[in-house]
Amino acid sequence: MSDSAPQDLWARALVEQNQRWLTAYFLAATGDRNIADDLTQEVFQQALTSQQNYDPNKPFGAWLRGIARHMLFRHYRTSKRQLLPLGDKLIEHLDAVATETEHRQIDPDWQPNRLSALRACMDELTERVRAMLTLKYQEELASKDIADRFRMKTNAVDMAMSRARRVLEECVSKKLGQQENETGIL
Amino acid sequence: MSDRLIDRWVSGTASAEDRAELIELIEADPTLVKKIFLAAEHDGLLRDYFGVMPKITLEPPQTVRPNTRTYARQRARLRLSRWLPLGVSAAAVLFFAILIINVMGSKPNPHSDNTPSVVTPEQKTTPTDKPTDFVIAPPAKNPAFPKPAYSKDIPLPPLKPQNDNVQNSQISNNMPVTNTTEKPTLKPEPQIAQVIKPQPVSGYIRLDGELKNNDNALIMRYALHIPATLPATKQLGLVLAFHGAGGNEKRTGDPILAALQQHDNNPNMVVAALKSAGENWTADDENNIISFINWALETYPIDRRRIVIQGTSNGGWLVNYFGSRHPELIAGVVAVCGGNGFQMPTKKPLNAAETGFEYYIAHGTADVDVEVKHARGVAESLRQNGYRYVYREYPGVGHNVYADKYTRNDFAAWLSRLRHKTMPLSDDDTKALAAYKKTDQAEALLLTKAGGETLIRIGGLPVEKILARAIRSKNPAVRARAIHLFAQTSCMPGASTLIASGLDDKDAAVRIAAINTLSRIGDWNDQDALIALCRFAGDRKSELSERVMTVTALTESIALRCSPTVSNQLIYELLVHLLDDDEETLRTLAFSTLKKLQNDHFGYDAQLPAKERREPVIAWRRWYIELFNPTPAKP
């Protein structure tokens, strides 16, 4: 029998449902994956420690977004890096789109469907571009190192990967749109 | 242009010029932020694809965070590349900030024995599950409600008793609606939702997982909906949801949770959707379900008096089977379009209505996948053995009763108030109820929001005893409040008899509370509540506005959307009776409902003078008699 404590399960569910949109939220604002990951971790830790402050009559996602906003402001105060201007409008739009994504993630099929669509879309890329993406994401190599391996210019690598990401993004949303039309009901 | 900039921004390769350009673009069009977020989200998808999304590790407060290798590496890089220039002092400040957050945010163990603040350790109570200050009389012995006065006006077929022992009767004889082709055409219009899509649920988080045994073998897959904050004491309800043939756990629980929240924004329940070992539920799943229940009870702060099982189609068969075999575990069963897996419990309770589980059955008469005879069979078994049950039979509806949101909301409200009738209260709840021991204290608490919520949460007979005492209070506000609370706690037979006393109260607020509460429980096949309401509405001495309120509640009941059965016969009888009432408002109200149930209006018009109404009213009475006591067809 599983010996998971309820707190562990709560924390697991908390992370499973909210990690992706929170990371995107911070990445959009900071433009840095590492900072986004770090802030996401801190939001979860804060949520865990102040769990008793949550009012169950209010949306849980909104509560997390409140913590995230607080973390973001704190980061803006301490960071010397050039970030996007954190005005009311930006926060408002960021909150709105994060809310939409959070709601979509309630569906347990959402992420598996997106991954399977991405898998199919990857086949549409050339072998070379797939290799570049692998080096970039899996090996976490810098563009310069990838350019050295492929004997290309750094700019060319960035351009190729940028194009590949856009192609994949369009392809995934197209495939998901098709799936939704086909399966409309449950 | 903006796409290129956005891509550079989220991939971390944007230069200072890129950033400046992006800021200009955002200032011109703030909706660009949405594109940036979606690009960032897509970046996350790629990281998921390549398996490099960092693993988040959360540790309980006051312990050192054990980072995973990936996360530790990223943090190290982050510290080097970003934080080192800030100096050692910034790192120290951050360290202390995290330390302070961890220390200040330490959370009590959810399973600790913390007692509610209103209870002191000295308030050790006597057990409250034995009736001491009042006894709820079974409905048959209740002298408070003689046959409704208006029933003397017209010769009507006798009401079918709910709990008599008719050993050899066939269901078709007792439920005349079996011959649906012979019956007058009813026109219920259930709102069938074709698409049930998951909706965000405030206050809840979802957890998909697998329960495994000590040998790491799979017991059961599950999808849990857990309140975002877990209470410190064992007080949550547990609804187990069982899918239909070939289904799975993924979305089975979603509509139930939505329905529970429709009833109460904070339903204080865990909803667990389960997956059968094979494609469908069979008797072989029984032990796995017990294992799951035990695990859930160990893992979450669940009150074991609040376990309800719900199933649809093949899941409906399963809940009939499992529920009838494990009455010691289950407070209630909801079977929707289910097969008849009911087996009479081996230990038949002496008084099933007061000690056994409660049942809710919903089925469509046009169901060709699982025929309605299965539901009728279960209802008949329950009736013969004296169990309390709600039977909803929807004329002309197929195998999709579950898609009817009114039915879902109805059974959600019904099951929310169920408590196991023989299981003792937990120590925490016993202590909490000790605060209500003295009458004046109880009345003061009852009038507070928290006091009422405690009673609704604990529920069951001990709470009904407190409320019954409060109904006799000299303070009308207390009487009204007690009756109001009964609507959300009442699950014992005979409670409606006490509530009905409120209909004769001098205070209008008490009478209105009684109308509302009786309407609620009358809709759940509580014949005492229906008798009291019909008597009140049919009594020309009652206040007109209150009579209208009562009739409106009855005509809006779900029972009236179902086939005519013993559950709703009284409502039909009242409506026909009101066609000849002195008050035109009531005549109009009754007729507007009846004409939806019967195409031929028999020339009735509510505005006609009494003499001209006579013939149409007689025709309506004949229709009613034929509906509930049809003339046998000639060979």
Nearest CA to B425 among B396, B462, B397? Answer: B462
Residues 390-409 of B with CB under 8 A from A: none
Q: What is the mean pLDDT of chain A?
A: 81
pLDDT at B66 > cutoff 50:
no
A56 to chain B: closest CA residue: B203
Q: How far apart are the C-alpha atoms of B387 and B384, rounded to whole Å? A: 8
Of residues A60, A79, A114, nearest to B203 (C-beta): A60
Q: How far apart are the C-alpha atoms of B447 and B427, rounded to whole Å? A: 24
Contact across the interface for A20 and B209, Cβ inside 8 Å: no
Q: A88 in contact with B at a CB cutoff of 8 Å?
A: no
B60 band by pLDDT with thresholds 50, 70 and 90: low
Residues of B within 8 A of A4 (CB-CB) are 299
B342: its two tokens: 């009911």
Distance from CA of A151 to the nearest CA of B (A): 19
B202 to chain A: closest CA residue: A59
If phi > 0 it is left, if psi is from -120 to 50 it is alpha, else beta; for residue B393 that is: beta
Alpha-carbon Rg for chain B, nearest whole angstrom, is: 30
| Structure confidence by residue, pLDDT tens digits, B167-212 | 333 223 323 333 333 333 333 333 333 344 555 566 888 888 899 8
Contact across the interface for B208 and A108, Cβ inside 8 Å: yes
User: Which one is predicted more confidently, B635 or B183?
Assistant: B635
A179: its two tokens: 């799936």
B128: its two tokens: 């409250």
Residues of A within 8 A of B100 (CB-CB) are none
Q: B245 in contact with A at a CB cutoff of 8 Å?
A: no
Contact B128, B425 (CB under 8 A): yes
Contact across the interface for A134 and B50, Cβ inside 8 Å: yes
Q: A35 in contact with B at a CB cutoff of 8 Å?
A: yes
- pTM listed for this prediction: 0.66
Q: Which helix (H) or strand (E) holds B179?
A: none
Q: What integer is the mean pLDDT of B205-232?
A: 89
Contact across the interface for A118 and B49, Cβ inside 8 Å: yes
| Structure confidence by residue, pLDDT tens digits, A148-182 | 888 888 888 888 888 898 899 889 988 888 765 54
Q: What is the pLDDT of residue B139?
A: 31
Select from A37, A43, A73 the residue whose CB has the most chain B CBs within 10 Å, as the one to mutate to test that interface: A37
Contact B273, B243 (CB under 8 A): yes
Select from A137, A157, A170 the residue whose CB has the most chain B CBs within 10 Å, as the one to mutate to test that interface: A137
Q: What is the mean pLDDT of chain B?
A: 78
Residues 132-161 of A with CB under 8 A from B: 133-134, 137-138, 140, 143, 158, 161
User: Which one is predicted more confidently, B344 or B480?
Assistant: B480
B266 band by pLDDT with thresholds 50, 70 and 90: confident
- Residue tagged 């694809």 (tokens): B49
Residues of B within 8 A of A115 (CB-CB) are 45, 48-49
Q: What integer is the mean pLDDT of B279-287?
A: 93
Q: What integer is the mean pLDDT of B127-156?
A: 33
Distance from CA of B478 to the nearest CA of A (A): 27
SS percent in chain A: helix, strand, coil, step 5: 75, 0, 25
A12 to chain B: closest CA residue: B207
DSSP B285-328: GHHHHHHHHHHHHHHS-EEEEEEEEEEETHHHHHHHHHHHH-TT
Determine the Cα angle at A141 with ends A140 and A147, to 5°: 150
Which residue stretches of B29-145 are H helix? 32-49, 69-78, 88-104
Residues 6+ apart with CB under 8 A from B269: B227, B236, B237, B238, B239, B260, B306, B416
Q: How many CA atoms lie within 13 A of B548 on its CB side?
A: 11
Q: How far apart are the C-alpha atoms of B377 and B380, rounded to whole Å? A: 5
Q: What is the pLDDT of residue B448?
A: 93
SS percent in chain B: helix, strand, coil, step 5: 50, 10, 40
Q: What is the pLDDT of residue B103?
A: 43
Longest dimension (CA), chain B: 101
Question: Among B79-88, B93-102, B411-420, which range has the highest average pLDDT?
Answer: B411-420
Of residues A49, A103, A107, nearest to B102 (C-beta): A49
Contact across the interface for B295 and A15, Cβ inside 8 Å: no
Q: What is the pLDDT of residue B4?
A: 81
Q: How far apart are the C-alpha atoms of B287 and B295, rounded to whole Å? A: 12
User: Which one is predicted more confidently, B290 or B123?
Assistant: B290
Q: In the beta sheet, which residues pair with residue B210? A: B221
pLDDT at B116 > cutoff 90:
no
Residues 92-111 of A with CB under 8 A from B: 92-94, 96-98, 101-103, 106-109, 111
Distance from CA of A56 to the nearest CA of B (A): 4
Contact across the interface for B46 and A137, Cβ inside 8 Å: yes
| Least reliable range by pLDDT among B107-121, B184-198, B519-533 | B107-121
Q: What is the pLDDT of residue A5?
A: 55
Contact A26, A36 (CB under 8 A): yes
User: Which one is predicted more confidently, B104 or B505?
Assistant: B505
Contact B495, B464 (CB under 8 A): yes
Q: Burial level of B253, CB count in 10 A (0-12/13-18/19+)?
A: buried
Q: What is the pLDDT of residue B96?
A: 53
Q: Which helix (H) or strand (E) holds B139?
A: none
Contact across the interface for B56 and A41, Cβ inside 8 Å: yes
Nearest CA to B416 among B360, B469, B484? Answer: B360
Contact across the interface for A56 and B203, Cβ inside 8 Å: yes
pLDDT at B404 > cutoff 90:
no
Contact across the interface for B42 and A168, Cβ inside 8 Å: yes
- Residue tagged 């023989």 (tokens): B422
| Structure confidence by residue, pLDDT tens digits, B284-329 | 999 999 999 999 999 999 999 999 999 999 999 999 999 999 999 9
Contact A31, A79 (CB under 8 A): no
Q: How far apart are the C-alpha atoms of B573 and B316, rounded to whole Å? A: 32
- Residue tagged 């699982």 (tokens): B370
Q: What integer is the mean pLDDT of A17-24?
A: 89
B50 band by pLDDT with thresholds 50, 70 and 90: confident
